[in-house]
Amino acid sequence: MLFITSERAMKKDYELAKERKVEVVSKYGGRNLARMLGISHPAVSKWQVIPPLRAYQIAGFGDYDLDYMRPDLQMRR
């Protein structure tokens, strides 16, 4: 039972990460965010969630924390 609950929690966190991706991209604008990260706009458009490296870079802008953008991951700083 514990495994099933844990799996459900991970799915919930992943869904939350999807919502947070929309929020972050909306705040900066897709093209602007791509420019800030030094990548193409189509690359940003393909994200389902913010990739871990990109989340780290975006956290450096100061508006969002890693844990907020990717609650489904446990990242060490």
- Segment 6-65, tens digit of pLDDT: 778 778 999 999 999 999 999 999 999 999 999 999 999 999 999 999 999 999 999 999
Q: Whole-model pTM above 0.75?
A: yes
- With 50 as the cut, is the pLDDT of residue 72 above it? yes
Contact 41, 30 (CB under 8 A): yes
**Distances in whole angstroms, Cα of residue 34 to Cα of each of 6, 57, 65:** 34, 11, 18
Structural domains in the chain, CATH included, are 2-69 (1.10.260.40)
Mean pLDDT over 62-70 rounds to 95
Burial class (CB in 10 A: 0-12, 13-18, 19+), 33: buried
